[in-house]
Structure 1
Amino acid sequence: MPTPFERSVFINCPFDEDYAPILQAIAFCVMLLGYDPRLAPENTDNAANRLDRIIELINGSKYGIHDLSRCKSSAAGEYSRMNMPFELGIDHGFRRAGRGPLADKVILILESTRYDYQKALSDIAGWDIQVHGGDFQKAVRRVRDWLVDKAGADPIGAARIQGKYIAFQEWHYERELSTGASDDDIKEYPTNLILAAMRQWMDAGQPV
């Protein structure tokens, strides 16, 4: 069954190994609060156009989380990463020009260091940008507070969410070891498999 528009949360963020702890914690928080995290990698059909997949996900999600913390280059000769602000622009465009449910879309913007975004995207100066400092626990707090405030999610405390996240990680790790997976295998699982495991853990009653 497709996820209803009102329960879908599009997550626009980096998908590299260093950012994975933040991404997975955010996705877990969204799921635990009763919403469905939607990410471009969830569709592994290589024949599908990536931009078309992204537009479809944005169009089908009332809520959008956009992390702009990786938009700047980190080394000489390296290009800035423009995917995140580009997808934010698409989401904002849907909200401004859309009719019906699209006009009610809600957006959260995250960054690592306060005011970094102003150096590259000054058009959104004055927006309420939330800072996580590269800390997945802070990212969970920001997303939790936003969903409680803007979506009316159950006000589960951030500390409880983080505790349940640890319980999930332990359960998932032990389960995968029992199937013959190694530590290296588990570390390299793609995002869509981790999200599937989160759903399985919740469907199983959140075992500890």
Structure 2
Amino acid sequence: MPLLHAMLFAIHDCGFIARLAAEDTGSNEMRIDKILRIIRESCYSIHDISRVETSAKSKLPRFNMPFECGLAMAAIRFGFRPPGTPQRDFMLMAAVPYQDKQTLSDLAGQDPKTHDNDPEKVVAAVRGFLSTKAPHGEKTRGGAAIWTRYRNFNASLPRLAKALDIIPREIAAFDYLRDWLAVMSAWLTLKGPSASAKARHS
């Protein structure tokens, strides 16, 4: 969760709106259909292909992230994008150098950003990717500034969560991701918007 939280904060601080399947936990839409819809509605995507840890119970890895990366690549290759939107693009992330060469060799030629399981490096990588996507003339804060803001947000999080009758252990869990996103968005609004003037989908 620390890596995901850092990634989501950086996306929003760069002036974009993060989309992920957890944004809607209802059962009226199959998960794969939800993922496909989000990819279809978005121009940019970020895929951490290192998130394939084995389950303690089954001892088998999870391939959700590589699978979703493949769906996003297919959307790019076949030219699917929302009308009137910029050209699609995506960023690959890996925990260690050359991890993709060992686990996903079909991606040869790509250049994943390595984060070493360090949230600060995730913030820097996300900023580097999205800063190139800002409309002409709009600016994006530097990675160090975003990281400082993220640390300040985390320091305020227990107090903000308490106002919602949510304890810190709960809001740090995946099941509370929607609550975390709501608190984060409110904090960013209070502390001032990103240097990019208009929020965009990623």
TM-score range, shorter chain: 0.7 to 0.9
Shift of 1:202: 2.0
**Identity over aligned pairs, percent:** 32
Give the 5 Å matches for 1:130-149.
130-149=113-132
CA distance in 1, matches of 2:169, 2:140: 36
CA distance in 1, matches of 2:107, 2:35: 22
CA distance in 1, matches of 2:101, 2:78: 24
Partner of 2:106: 123
Give the 5 Å matches for 1:34-183.
34-71=15-52, 73=54, 78-99=59-80, 104-151=87-134, 154-183=139-168
Name the CA shift for 1:167/1:103 in 2 (closer, same or farther; >3 Å): closer
Shift of 1:83: 1.0
Aligned partner letter, 1:137: E
Partner of 1:26: 7
**Unmatched 5+ stretches in structure 2:** 193-202
- TM-score normalised over the length of structure 1: 0.81
CA deviations over 1:25-61 (Å, ceiling 9, x no partner): 1111110111001011001112321000000000111
Name the CA shift for 1:186/1:97 in 2 (closer, same or farther; >3 Å): closer
Q: Which piece of structure 1 moves more, 187-196 or 148-157?
A: 148-157
How many residues are paired up? 188
Partner of 1:7: none
Name the CA shift for 1:190/1:137 in 2 (closer, same or farther; >3 Å): same
Conserved 8 A contact 2:81-2:88? no
Aligned partner letter, 1:158: G
Could you say what the CA RMSD is over the residues aligned between the two structures, in angstroms? 2.5
Partner of 1:3: none
Relative contact order (C-alpha < 8 Å, sep 6+): which is higher? 2
Shift of 1:122: 0.7
Shift of 1:88: 0.7
Aligned partner letter, 1:29: A
**Unmatched 5+ stretches in structure 1:** 1-19
